[in-house]
């Protein structure tokens, strides 16, 4: 039995997953599909190789931020959460993205100064980069992990969520990534320059 309220949003969100024998899988009513984190990382490796790290990360960050802002507002409205209740919003976002399998977000925000940090545990972008498929199809941990942060899209998304929480434009910079052998991914929040 969970303590009161703990995980209630998580159960509500994860319970919307609908498998479909004709392949039209849906999550929160949205057509979705399942892909391994390693496959995403493999695609990302090719993007980095062909287009360059700066371009790819900038594009993912900007797209993520737009989506994060839009989704933050939509989730608050659809779930009737008072946008002045920051604790309730933070908890909902943490449960929602945990249910999606994107990462478990811990908000350590300084609302007075529009600063702080967000910690992401189990980022799918970074964990995918830490494993590769073998010829037999098993995902195994690799030793030659890249020493660059891998979570630009998540950084943008977090910047969008936190901009909505603060009702002010902020950016997020990934200062530590599990792809660099840190225990969690950390995103520093600062006012937009
Ligand atoms: Zn990361």
Do residues 149 and 179 touch, judged by C-beta distance below 8 A?
Answer: yes
CA of 123 to the centre of ligand 1 (A): 6
- Quote the pLDDT of residue 133: 60
CA of 44 to the centre of ligand 1 (A): 13
CA of 30 to the centre of ligand 1 (A): 26
Tell me the two tokens of residue 152.
């630009």
Tell me the two tokens of residue 189.
């929040």
CA of 41 to the centre of ligand 1 (A): 12
Q: Which CATH class is domain 36-191?
A: alpha beta
- Quote the pLDDT of residue 143: 58
Q: How far is CA 15 from CA 4, 8, 26, 127, in A?
A: 18, 11, 11, 24
b/e string for 8-38 if b means 16 or more Cβ within 10 A?
ebbeebbeeeeeeeeeeeebbeeeeeeeebb
CA of 62 to the centre of ligand 1 (A): 16
Looking at residue 160, the DSSP 8-state letter turns out to be H
CA of 22 to the centre of ligand 1 (A): 35
CA of 120 to the centre of ligand 1 (A): 8
> What is 42-91 written as a DSSP string?
HHHHHHHHHH-HHHHHHHHHHHHHHHHHHHHHHHHHHTT--TT-HHHHHH
- Quote the pLDDT of residue 8: 79
Q: How far is CA 1 from CA 8, 52, 182, in A?
A: 11, 48, 32
Return d(Cα 188, Cα 171) in angstroms, integer.
8
CA of 21 to the centre of ligand 1 (A): 34
From first to last of the 193 residues of the chain, give the pLDDT tens digit: 444 455 578 998 999 999 999 999 999 899 999 999 989 988 998 999 999 999 999 999 999 999 999 999 999 999 999 999 999 999 999 999 999 999 999 999 999 999 999 999 999 999 988 876 665 656 666 655 557 899 999 999 999 999 999 999 999 999 999 999 899 999 999 997 5
- Quote the pLDDT of residue 130: 86
CA of 154 to the centre of ligand 1 (A): 8
């Amino acid at each position: 039995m969970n303590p009161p309220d703990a995980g209630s949003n998580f159960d509500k969100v994860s319970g919307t997953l609908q498998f479909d024998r004709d392949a039209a899988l849906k999550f929160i009513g949205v057509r979705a599909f399942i892909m391994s984190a390693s496959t995403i990382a493999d695609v990302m490796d090719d993007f980095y190789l062909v287009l360059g790290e700066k371009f790819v990360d900038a594009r993912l960050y900007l797209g993520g931020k737009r989506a994060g802002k839009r989704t933050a507002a939509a989730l608050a409205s659809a779930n009737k959460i008072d946008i002045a209740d920051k604790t309730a919003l933070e908890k909902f976002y943490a449960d929602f993205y945990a249910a999606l399998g994107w990462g478990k977000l811990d908000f350590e925000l300084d609302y007075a100064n529009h600063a702080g940090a967000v910690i992401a545990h189990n980022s799918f972008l970074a964990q995918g980069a830490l494993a590769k498929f073998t010829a037999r199809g098993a995902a195994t941990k690799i030793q030659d992990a890249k020493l660059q942060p891998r979570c630009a899209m998540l950084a943008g998304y977090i910047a969008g969520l936190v901009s909505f929480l603060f009702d002010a434009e902020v950016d997020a910079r990934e200062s530590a990534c599990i792809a660099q052998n840190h225990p969690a991914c950390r995103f520093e929040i600062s006012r937009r320059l």
